[in-house]
Amino acid sequence: MELVLTTDTPLGAESNSTHTVMSDDFLTPVDSPPSQEYYENTSNIMLYALVVVVVVVVVVLVVVVVVVVVAAAAAAVVVVVVVVVVVVVVVVVAAAVTSRGNTMVTTRKEEHK
User: What is the DSSP track for 29-75?
Assistant: ---SPPPHHHHHHHHHHHHHHHHHHHHHHHHHHHHHHHHHHHHHHHH
Contact 11, 20 (CB under 8 A): no
Residue 82 has pLDDT above 80, yes or no: yes
User: What pTM, to 2 d.p., does this model score?
Assistant: 0.45
Residue 53 has pLDDT above 80, yes or no: yes
- The number of distinct structural domains making up the chain is 1
- Residue 101: which domain range? 2-112
Give the pLDDT score at 104: 60
* Interacting residues of 3 by C-beta distance below 8 A, sequence separation 6+: 20, 21, 22, 23, 27
Stronger pLDDT, 60 or 6, i.e. the higher one: 60
Contact 41, 29 (CB under 8 A): no
- Cα torsion angle, 96, 98, 104, 109, sign: negative
